Structure 1
Amino acid sequence: MKKLLTILTLTFLFISCDEGKKENDYILPTASGNTNEILVVMKTLQWEGKPGDEIRTVFGEHQVGLPQPETLLSVTQIDPSGYKNFMRNLKAILIVTTGEKEEISVTRNKYAEPQIIVTATAKDEDGLINLIKNRGKEIIKLFKDEDIAFIQQIFKREALDESSLKTLKNLGISLTIPKRFNVVDDKGDFLWLRQHLKSGIARGDGTNNILVYSVPLEDESTVEDNITAIRDTIGKKHIPGSKEGMYMITEAAYTPFTYPTEIDGKKAYETRGKWEVKNDFMAGPFINYTVIDKANNRLIVVEGFTYAPSVNKRDFIFELEAIGKSLKIK
């Protein structure tokens, strides 16, 4: 009798738990795929035609500020008939389809986690072409923002102890920086961190670098125009080359691209360009975030730069972008 009561009790508990379980409580598999890569699900005939040409044109735009041509996103295509099983578990998917309403919709974590599925719908082929042409940058931003959040979550799990960094403490700011970065210089008003790259041709010599510093805010209307001059002053003072008279500067032959943006709810500028060492042959790409901190009458600058000869650098810069965008002013 006791055994029967035990069995009935366990059965009741199992049924109760099962009935209380929601559909979205199902544990999703971990999404596969790399950052800056998307799968396009569309009919092969469309992919080989004008709609596919438009996708390749918009998504194949080169990322500015890199020494070698690299696209904003790496794109692969599959016909809807093959979109099943493990293919549905990819991290970033664009579904191109026809329907009555022209729209873009977003679904997250449908088949795996973390996952974003963007569906682009139009009435016919011409509508699809126009949709990609007119809203392609919006679609790219959706994928990029998702990747930034993904990278930042990884970095949070392996973050440096900020309390050990004098400059961050003195400036009253925080950054999510992974432990693989080591301190090169931490003066209290200037921070330089470096990660030695461990893969590819860049292994050994290759590095990813982070700079953090502050300068006074004098005239907000001139901030954008002075970004290059400020970074060159910092480079001369803090980033020496291998010999006397050598130091990091903005590459003179390449004009940086600057865009307005927002960091930690504050007006800021994102600048992408190339750096070089004066009187030397070292060079590479950089990404600079200059944030206007009106409350403290200053500019907070977080910059990342990469030295990785003979290899693609898009994904290295992308990690530095994720770090820069994690800035919080306390």
Structure 2
Amino acid sequence: MVVTKASDWTGDLGTAIRSAFGELVVGLPQPEPTLSVSQIAPNAFGSMTNISRNILIIGEGEKEDFYIKKNVYAKPQTIIYVYGTDDASIIKVFNEYKNEIISAYISSDILMTQNIFKAKQLALSQLKTLEEIGVSFTIPEEFKTVKDTGDFLWLRQHLTSGIAKTGSNNILVYSIPLEEESKVSENIIPIRNAIGKKHIPGSDAETMYMTTEEAYTPQTLETVVDGKKAFETRGKWEVKNDFMAGPFVSYFVVDKKHNRIVVFEGFTYAPSVNKRASLFELEAIAKSMKIQ
């Protein structure tokens, strides 16, 4: 929720904010913005509205300023303040910190989601692959085991809302040897395709299997998971020779201590419905990773 004057919201400042927050999430088949955004005037910002979870307060002052406060009026809550000496100054400060602003809101929501999952989480001791690999996650108890070989795990959560009542969220976990760290990112797609062919069959196991959609180029970015260097990849999957498809997000985490890469992949199958929320939940689970 953006707290600013209506005249600013309909002007260049509002355009800058909507443009930054409205950037489309990579890999989704339907266009969905990174953050959903609304505006409220400063004189309407009071006890009924200040309990929102994520708030951006825009204002004019004697100097340019930017800072973040937590849990001011509610918990959990992230309030970010952006100040400038005039409209042009405010836009400059916002553009300077927009990536940090977006990251702060997403990180806050990930932590909130993980805390929700902790209340009713899956008992990991029953999953031999996680025991063998020596890795743990905060996973909701709604996920059920599809395959657990000791070196490869596939969990599935059936989606029951909307028209996608046959849809699902899926988690894959496995590890591979770390060979050349400089070549990890370029090997991500070949590795996931090989895993899909071996472990994720279609309705005809002989001719159908999951692979990366060739018509869409995945995006890989360097990040940090469990304090370790990792590569986040977002793209689209499909079942070869079939009509199933959807978005995926994967994390290749470099575990130098054990000379390996720990892989988490989340993928969603939910025909005809928006998938941002489902993929976000999978991202939250991935970022709860703890390697022994």
TM surpasses 0.5: yes
* Cα deviation, residue 81, structure 1: 1.1
1:281 maps to amino acid: F
* Cα deviation, residue 101, structure 1: 2.2
Say what the alpha-carbon RMSD is for the aligned residues: 0.8
Residue 203 (structure 2) aligns with: 242
Residue 129 (structure 1) aligns with: 91
Kept after mapping to 2: 8 A contact 1:60/1:72: yes
Q: How many residues align?
A: 291
The 3-state SS of whatever aligns with 1:106 is strand
1:152 to 110, 114, 118: 114
* Cα deviation, residue 110, structure 1: 1.2
* Cα deviation, residue 134, structure 1: 2.2
1:146-189 per-residue CA deviation (whole Å, 9 max, x = no partner) reads: 00111111111111111100000000111110101010110110
Residue 213 (structure 1) aligns with: 174
Residue 277 (structure 2) aligns with: 315
* 1:115 aligns to 2:115 (yes or no): no
Matched residues in 1 for 2:70 and 2:226: separation? 24
> 1:1-330 maps to which residues of 2 (within 5 A)?
39-203=1-165, 205-243=166-204, 244-330=206-292
1:153 maps to amino acid: N
Residue 33 (structure 1) aligns with: none
Matched residues in 1 for 2:44 and 2:163: separation? 35
The 3-state SS of whatever aligns with 2:38 is strand
* Cα deviation, residue 85, structure 1: 2.1
The 3-state SS of whatever aligns with 1:302 is strand
The 3-state SS of whatever aligns with 1:201 is coil
Kept after mapping to 2: 8 A contact 1:212/1:303: yes
1:85 maps to amino acid: S
Q: Sequence identity of aligned pairs in percent?
A: 57
* Cα deviation, residue 109, structure 1: 1.1
Matched residues in 2 for 1:214 and 1:283: separation? 24
The 3-state SS of whatever aligns with 1:88 is coil
* Cα deviation, residue 268, structure 1: 0.7
* Cα deviation, residue 57, structure 1: 0.9
The 3-state SS of whatever aligns with 2:88 is helix
Kept after mapping to 2: 8 A contact 1:58/1:132: no
The 3-state SS of whatever aligns with 2:192 is helix
Matched residues in 1 for 2:72 and 2:94: separation? 23
The 3-state SS of whatever aligns with 1:147 is helix
1:327 maps to amino acid: M
Matched residues in 1 for 2:101 and 2:25: separation? 16
* Cα deviation, residue 280, structure 1: 0.7
The 3-state SS of whatever aligns with 1:89 is coil
Matched residues in 1 for 2:59 and 2:162: separation? 38
Kept after mapping to 2: 8 A contact 1:190/1:213: yes
Matched residues in 2 for 1:109 and 1:134: separation? 24
1:57-97 per-residue CA deviation (whole Å, 9 max, x = no partner) reads: 11111111111111000000011111112211111111111
Q: Which runs of 4+ in 1 moved over 4 A?
A: none
1:209 maps to amino acid: N
Tell which deviates more after alignment, 97-106 or 160-169.
97-106
Matched residues in 2 for 1:206 and 1:97: separation? 44
1:112 maps to amino acid: A
TM-score w.r.t. the length of structure 2 is 0.98
Matched residues in 1 for 2:163 and 2:98: separation? 33
The structure carrying a bigger helix percent of its residues is: 1
1:163 maps to amino acid: S
TM-score w.r.t. the length of structure 1 is 0.87
Where does the alignment leave 5 or more consecutive residues of structure 2 unmatched? none
1:206 maps to amino acid: G
Matched residues in 1 for 2:220 and 2:241: separation? 26
Q: Which has the larger radius of gyration?
A: 1
Matched residues in 2 for 1:157 and 1:190: separation? 26
1:250-297 per-residue CA deviation (whole Å, 9 max, x = no partner) reads: 000111000001111111100000000001110000000001111111
